[in-house]
Homo-oligomer: A and B are copies of this chain.
Amino acid sequence: MSWMQREIGLSPRPRGFHLITREVVEAMPELGAIRVGLLHLLIQHTSASLALNENASPDVRRDFEAWSDAAVPERARYWTHTVEGPDDMPAHVKAALFGPSLMLPVSDGRLALGTWQGIYLCEHRDRGGSRSLVATLWGEPS
């Protein structure tokens, strides 16, 4: 049994959905030594989230942003928490909808994802700045 925990710093991204699979895997070289286990990722913020979805077409990520903006609209009449700008409260709701964490199985030293699955950083603020992940890896060594 082996445990590893590390903070992964993500550089600022524009508002939208961004593929970060490679960045996460490269930050976790210890993955290679796990026969069977799990990798947990938590984003330590309340206006950005993590998702697992289609890793090929940039259209898909653009449409995620378009749907999010339609479903959680800025300047809706029911918002009262508006002091941090019109993008702030919608960002909180989007962050909770997509969720703050991912749990990914590890198999023979690699993430056991489907062919088309990639890790998304979902940046819901106009200027969210750097984002921080806590990565926790544990499992049975090879």
Contact = CB atoms under 8 A, between A and B. Distances in A.
A27 interface: no
A54 B92 contact: yes
Size bracket, chain A contacts: 35 or more
Q: How many copies does the complex hold?
A: 3
B42 A40 contact: no
Interface of A is mostly: mixed
A96 B53 contact: yes
Interface string A47-64: 000011110010110111
Contacts of A59: 80-81
Interface of A: 1, 3-5, 36-38, 40, 42-46, 51-54, 57, 59-60, 62-64, 66-67, 70-72, 76, 78-81, 89, 92-93, 95-105, 107, 112-117, 120, 132, 134, 136, 139-140
